[in-house]
Amino acid sequence: MSAYIAKRLLAAIPVLFGLTIIVFLIMAMIPGDPATAILGSYATPENVERLTRQLGLDKPLWQQYFIWLGNMLQGDFGRSYTLNRPVIDEVLERFSATLILAGTSLLLCSVFGLIAGVVSAVRQYSWVDKTVTFVVLVGISVPSFWLGLLLILVFAVNLKWFPASGMYAIYGGGDLPDLLKHLFLPAITLAVVATGVIARLTRTAMLEVLRQDFIRTARAKGVTENKVIYKHAFKAALVTVIPVIGIQAGFVLGGAVYIETVFQWPGIGSMLVKAISTRDLLLVQGGVLVVAAAYVLFNLAADVVQTILDPRLR
Amino acid sequence: MAEATSTAIKPVKRASSGRPNTLALLLNNTLATAGLVVFGLIVLIALAAPLLPLPDPDVTAPANRLFRPLTEGHLLGTDALGRDILSRLIWGTRVSLLVGISATLIAAFFGSLIGLVAGYAGGRVDTLLMRGIDMVMAFPYILLALAIVAVLGPGLLNALYAIAVVNIPFFARNIRGIALGLSRREFVDAARLSGKSNAQILFIEVLPNVLPVIIITMSTTIGWMILETAGLSFLGLGAQPPQADLGSMLGDGRKILFTAPHVSIIPGLMIFALVMSINLLGDGVRDVLDPRLKSGALTRPVARTAVTRENAPQDMTPVAGAILDVRGLKTEFRFGGQVYKAVGGVDMAVRRGECLGIVGESGSGKSVSAMSIMGLVPTPPGSITGGVALLKGEDLFAASDERIRQLRGSAVSHVFQDPLSTLHPLFTVGDQLVEAIQAHDPVSKTQAREKAIDLLTMVRIPNPAERLKSYPHELSGGMRQRVCIAMALAHDAQIIIADEPTTALDVTVQAQVLSLMNTLRKEHDAGILFITHDFGVVSAICDRVAVMYAGQFVETGTTEEILSAPAHPYTAKLIDCVPVLGQPDRRLDAIEGRPPVVNNLPVGCAFAARCPRAQEDCRAAPIPLTEFGEGRTVRCIHPLTGETTDV
C-alpha cells in the first residue's frame, strides 16, 4: 500500500505543475505592462524596469515561466505592494485561518452528509427521506453568502448567541472556546452546500449497494439487519463517497471566499477579495496557488483513504 | 393454475408495491411543476421589465432612503440611496438571468466543441485536450474565476467570462464521453466512407446526437452559474455601479444589514427562488430520464421477503422424514401494475442427507422458489402470496423476523452462484467467516478464527491460516466458492440451499466443488436443495429431481428414473440438450421457442406452444400434477412413459 501512496504522491507532481502553468498563463493575460500592474500605478520607472528585468518580461513566454517557477520554488512569491511585506508570509498566515474554517466545514459536511444520506436511503420514501431530499435541494440552491447574512441577523444580532464576525474577540479573547464561538456560524454556512451534495450521493450509493449480491449473502448468514446496513452496506457505499468528499474540499475552499467576506474571517478568501479590488496581483497569485495546492493535497488524502478502505485498489 | 415465470435471476425491474413509488413520482412531478411555474414567472417578469409601470431603478432620492417594504408607492421599500427596490429587483433579475444564461451558452459552446473534437479525434488530440481540462478541474472552481477576474479587472462582463471558463470542463467531459462512443458507431463509419469531411461528420452526424446531453448539462449548470455570477457581484467583482444585478444589490445591502436588513434579504431571496426553481425543474427532468429510477434499481429491498398470503394452509403435518417441507409456495413480483407470478404453487420436501435438484431454464422460477424459503427474494418487488414452508414443522412464513435471522446461516444456509459478487469485496475472507460464526455463536474472536481455520481445512483449502487474510478478489473462483461453502457449514446446517453454485466456475473446478459438496453433505448429514439448469450437474449430485417450467414443477422423480425415462416432453427436451456429461458449452435454449411470458400465461399447459406432442386438450384447461409411480409425478396428459393410445 505504501508503494501505491508513493505512486499517488508522484502523480500529484504533474498536477501541481499544471496548476502553476495555468496560474502563469492567467497572469500573462494582464492587459498592458505587467510590471506596472504588479507594482501599482504609483511605482517609479526605475522600480518598474528593475522588476521587468527580474521577471524576465523581455524574454519569450516559456523562459518567463521558468524564471517565475524558479522564484516560486525558492519560496519567493514576490512582495505585496499594498501590505509592503512578502506575499508568502501574508499568505501562510491567512491560510491557517482558512484551514481552520474549511477543515471544520469539511468535517461537518462529511458527518452530516453521510448521516443524512444513509438515513434517507434506509427509510426510503418515508417522510424522513422526503424531508431530507427537500432540505438537501434547498441547501444546494441557497446562495451561501446570503445564508450567512441571515444567520448573522438571527443568531448574532437578534439572539446574540454568537459573534457576528471575526475569528477572536478583540478584547480578552484568543482561547479555544472563543475561537469555537466565532467559528460556529461561518463553518455551518460554509458546510451547507457540500452537505447537500454528499447527502445526495450517499443516498444513491447506499441504495445501489443494498441491491448487491454480497448484501444478500450477509443476510443469508443471519447477520442482523443493523450490521447489514451500517457495516456491510455503509462501508461499500463509503468507497464511492470518499472521492466526492475530496472534490467537495474544492468547493469548500472556494466557498470560503464568500463566507470569509461575510463573516470577516481573516483567511485567504477575504484576503483575495481585498487583493483583487486593490489590484495587488502578486498577492492574488500567491493566494490562489496555495489554496489550489491545498486542494490537490485534499484530493490526494481522499485517494489514500479510499485505498485503505478498498483492497482492490491496492 | 397455469402460472408463470418471471425474471428469476434479476427480479429488479420496477419499484413496486405501486403506491409509495407512484406517490414519490407524483411528488417529484409536483415539485418539478412548481419549479417550472416559478422559473417561468421570473423569466416572464424579467422580460416584461420595460413594459411594467416601474420607477427608474437608478434614480436616487435621498429623502426617501431606507423605506421599509409595503411603504406607499414602494412595495418592497427603498435602498440606501432611496431607489425603489422592487424596480431594482426586477431589473437586477434581468441582468442576473442574462449573465447566467450567457455564461451557460459560452461554456456550453466551447466545452462542447472541445468535447466533440476530443471524443471524435481520439488519440493524441484527445489526450492533450483532456489533460488541459483536468488541469483546470484541479483548481477549486471559484478560485480560478477569481484569478481571471483579478487579472482582467472587476466588471460584469469579466465575471461572466470567468464563470463561463471555469464551467467549460463540465461540458467538455460530458460531451467527450458521448462523442467517443458515437465516433465508433456504424453510421459515422458510413458517413466517412461516403467521403464526408471530418467537420461535416462532426457537425452533421455527431452533433445532433449529443445535443440532448448538452442541453441536460446546461440545465444542471445554469443554476450554478447564476449563483456564482451573483457571488462575484456580491464580492464587488462583478456588476459595477450604477449597473446592478442581484448579487451586487445583495452586496450593497450587506453594509446596512443591521439597520435595514430588507435591502439585502430581498435580492438574496430572489437568487434563491431562481436557483431553487431551476434545480427543482432539473431534478424532475433527471428523475424522468434516469433509467435507474425508472427501473426501480434504486429501490431499497427490505431484510426479508414480504409475506402476503391470505391464510396459512390447514394441513401442517410435514411429510414423513422431511426436514424441509414446502407446500403450495407462490411468489409474485409486481412491477408497474403488472403481476408476475414467478412461482405458482410448488411442493417440495428435503430429507436429511438428501439432495433435491430443481432444474429448469433461466426464468423458470427455480431460484425464486429456493430464495423464498428463507425470505431472500427482494421486497420490493417480490412477495410470497401463498403456501407454507415447514422447517422441522415450524412455519417459516409465519416466523418473526428475528427467528428467521436466527435460522439463516445456522439451520438453513445458502451457497450462491457467483462467488465474486456474493462475497463482500472490502472484507477479508477471515472477517466474513468469523462474522458468520459469531452471528449465531457467542464465541470470542480468537475462537471464531480457529473455527474458521477448521472450516477452510474442511473445504480443502491449503494454508487456511494464511488464506483468512486474503480478500475475495485475491482468490480464484473455485477457492471463493469453497469459502462460501465453508461459510454455509459454519453452524452444522441441516439444509443447504445452493443456487447454481457451480455455474460461474469452469468445468474442472465445477467437478471438484460438486464432489466436495457431495462428501460434505454425507459427513454432515445435511439436506441440499440444489438449483441448476444443468442435467450434467444433476446426475453428479442429486438424489431426486424436480423439473420446473413457468413457475411450476412439471415432473418429479429420482435422478435415475428421470434421466433414463423422462415422462414430460419438456424434461426429455432438456435432457436432449445435454449430449455428453462434462461438456462445458451445453446450452438449454436449444429448445425451440421461448418460455411463456411471465405475466400472461396460457390457460392450459404452459409448455404446449413448444411441445411437439401438444394436442387440443393440452390447451383447454390447467393440467394437474399426477402421480404415476413411487414418488414420481408429471404434469402432462400425454406423457412419454407408459405410452398407450396417443402419438
The CA distance from B506 to B498, in Å, is 17
Q: Pick the residue of A36, A219, A242, A261 with the most B CBs within 10 A to test the interface with B by mutation.
A: A219
Torsional sign, CA B401, B402, B407, B410: positive
Q: For chain A, positions 3-32, list CB contacts with chain B under 8 A.
A: 15, 18-19, 21-23, 26-27, 29-31
- The predicted-structure confidence for B210-219, as pLDDT tens digits, reads as follows 887 888 888 8
Q: For chain B, positions 458-497, list CB contacts with chain A under 8 A.
A: 471, 473-474, 484, 487
The tally of domains found in chain B comes to 1
Which grid coordinates belong to B371? 430464495
**Size of the A and B interface in Cβ pairs below 8 Å:** 244
pLDDT band of residue B1 (cuts 50, 70, 90) is very low
**Residue B518 pLDDT:** 86
Task: Compute the average pLDDT of residues A69-82.
Answer: 84
Strand partners, B425: none
Any chain B CB within 8 A of the CB of A125?
Answer: yes
Q: For chain B, positions 406-465, list CB contacts with chain A under 8 A.
A: 406-410, 413-414, 416, 418, 421-427, 435-436, 439-440
- The predicted-structure confidence for B293-339, as pLDDT tens digits, reads as follows 555 556 777 888 888 877 666 666 667 778 888 888 888 888 767 78
Q: A271 pLDDT exceeds 50? A: yes
Q: Is residue B515 part of a domain?
A: no
Strand partners, B626: B634
* Integer angstrom CA distances of residue B18 from A128, B274, B284, B428: 20, 33, 19, 39
Q: A143 and B153 in contact by Cβ < 8 A? A: no
Q: A311 and B471 in contact by Cβ < 8 A? A: yes
Residues of A in contact with B32 (CB under 8 A): none
Q: Pick the residue of B21, B23, B143 with the most A CBs within 10 A to test the interface with A by mutation.
A: B143
**CA dihedral angle for residue B413, residue A212, residue B11, residue B625, rounded to 10 degrees:** -10
Percent of chain B with pLDDT over 90: 15
Residue B602 or residue A143, greater confidence: A143
Q: Is residue B263 part of a domain?
A: yes
**Residue B20 pLDDT:** 44
Any chain B CB within 8 A of the CB of A102?
Answer: no
Nearest CB to A310 within list B231, B422, B426: B426
Å from A46 to nearest chain B CA? 23
- The predicted-structure confidence for B327-370, as pLDDT tens digits, reads as follows 888 888 887 677 888 888 888 889 888 899 999 887 788 888 88
**Residue B294 pLDDT:** 56
Any chain B CB within 8 A of the CB of A221?
Answer: yes
Q: B378 and A26 in contact by Cβ < 8 A? A: no
What CATH number corresponds to the domain at position B214? 1.10.3720.10
Nearest to B595 by CA among B15, B8, B13, B16: B8
Q: Is residue B264 part of a domain?
A: yes
Q: B279 and A137 in contact by Cβ < 8 A? A: yes
Q: Is residue B476 part of a domain?
A: no
Residue B613 or residue A272, greater confidence: A272
Which grid coordinates belong to B22? 407512484
Å from A152 to nearest chain B CA? 9
pLDDT band of residue B99 (cuts 50, 70, 90) is very high
Residues of A in contact with B24 (CB under 8 A): 125, 130
- Mean pLDDT check: name the lowest of B57-71, B459-473, B477-491: B57-71
Residue B8 or residue B635, greater confidence: B635
**Residue B17 pLDDT:** 41
**Residue B345 pLDDT:** 84
Q: B291 pLDDT exceeds 80? A: no
Residue A81 or residue A131, greater confidence: A131
* Displacement of CA B465 from its chain's centroid (Å): 37
Radius of gyration of chain B (CA): 34
Q: Is residue B132 part of a domain?
A: yes
Length of chain B as a residue count = 647
- The predicted-structure confidence for B552-587, as pLDDT tens digits, reads as follows 888 888 888 888 888 888 888 888 776 555 555 555
Q: B145 pLDDT exceeds 60? A: yes
Q: B8 pLDDT exceeds 50? A: no
The CA distance from B83 to A11, in Å, is 55
Q: What is the DSSP letter of A229?
A: I
Å from B202 to nearest chain A CA? 29
Please answer whether residues B465 and B496 qualify as being in contact, where contact means their C-beta atoms are separated by less than 8 angstroms.
no
Q: Pick the residue of A101, A209, A217 with the most B CBs within 10 A to test the interface with B by mutation.
A: A217
Please answer whether residues B342 and B333 qualify as being in contact, where contact means their C-beta atoms are separated by less than 8 angstroms.
yes
Q: Between helices B141-152 and A2-28, what is the axis angle to 10°?
A: 20
> What is the span of the domain harbouring residue B191?
22-49+70-293
Q: B108 pLDDT exceeds 90? A: yes
Burial status of residue A309 (CB atoms within 10 A of its CB: 0-12, 13-18, 19 or more): middle
**Residue A189 pLDDT:** 94
pLDDT band of residue B165 (cuts 50, 70, 90) is very high
Q: What is the DSSP letter of B394?
A: E
Q: B644 pLDDT exceeds 50? A: no
- Mean pLDDT check: name the lowest of A2-16, A244-258, B8-22: B8-22
Residues of B in contact with A138 (CB under 8 A): 276
Residues of B in contact with A236 (CB under 8 A): 424-426
pLDDT band of residue A14 (cuts 50, 70, 90) is confident
Å from A174 to nearest chain B CA? 26
Residue A32 or residue B326, greater confidence: B326
Residue B455 or residue B640, greater confidence: B455
Q: B416 and A220 in contact by Cβ < 8 A? A: yes
Q: For chain A, positions 35-74, list CB contacts with chain B under 8 A.
A: none
Residue type, A168: Y
Å from B586 to nearest chain A CA? 26
What string of DSSP letters covers A55-66? HTTTS-HHHHHH
Q: Is residue B418 part of a domain?
A: no
Task: Compute the average pLDDT of residues A270-283.
Answer: 87
The CA distance from B24 to B4, in Å, is 30
Q: State the greatest distance between any 2 C-alpha atoms of chain A, in Å, as a whole number.
A: 82
Please answer whether residues B261 and B199 qualify as being in contact, where contact means their C-beta atoms are separated by less than 8 angstroms.
no
Any chain B CB within 8 A of the CB of A93?
Answer: no
Any chain B CB within 8 A of the CB of A298?
Answer: no
Neighbours of A244 (CB within 10 A): 19
Q: B140 and A251 in contact by Cβ < 8 A? A: yes
Q: A284 and B147 in contact by Cβ < 8 A? A: yes
Closest-CA residue in chain A for B149?
A: A276
Q: Pick the residue of B142, B427, B496 with the most A CBs within 10 A to test the interface with A by mutation.
A: B142
Q: For chain B, positions 273-332, list CB contacts with chain A under 8 A.
A: 275-276, 278-280, 283, 297-301, 303-304
**Residue B114 pLDDT:** 93
Percent of chain B with pLDDT over 70: 89
Query: 3-class DSSP state for residue B342?
Result: strand
Which run of H or E residues covers position B570?
helix B569-576
Residue type, B446: T
**Residue A111 pLDDT:** 95
Q: For chain B, positions 343-382, list CB contacts with chain A under 8 A.
A: 374, 376, 378
* Displacement of CA B593 from its chain's centroid (Å): 30
Task: Compute the average pLDDT of residues A200-210.
Answer: 90
Task: Compute the average pLDDT of residues B599-610.
Answer: 80
Q: B231 and A258 in contact by Cβ < 8 A? A: yes
Q: For chain A, positions 243-282, list CB contacts with chain B under 8 A.
A: 249-251, 253-255, 257-258, 261-262, 272-273, 275-277, 279, 281
- Mean pLDDT check: name the lowest of A36-45, A62-71, B387-396: A36-45
Any chain A CB within 8 A of the CB of B142?
Answer: yes
- The predicted-structure confidence for B60-77, as pLDDT tens digits, reads as follows 777 777 777 777 777 777
Task: Compute the average pLDDT of residues A283-303.
Answer: 89
Average pLDDT value over all residues in chain A: 87
Any chain A CB within 8 A of the CB of B624?
Answer: no
**Residue B489 pLDDT:** 84
Q: B16 pLDDT exceeds 50? A: no
Which grid coordinates belong to B2? 397455469
Asked whether this complex has an ipTM greater than 0.85, the answer is yes
Residue B284 or residue B39, greater confidence: B39
Q: A153 and B422 in contact by Cβ < 8 A? A: no
Q: B152 and A29 in contact by Cβ < 8 A? A: yes
Q: Is residue B534 part of a domain?
A: no
Q: Is residue B348 part of a domain?
A: no
Q: B416 and A217 in contact by Cβ < 8 A? A: yes
Q: Can you list the positions of beta strands (E) in B229-305?
A: none
Closest-CA residue in chain A for B378?
A: A211
**Residue B24 pLDDT:** 56
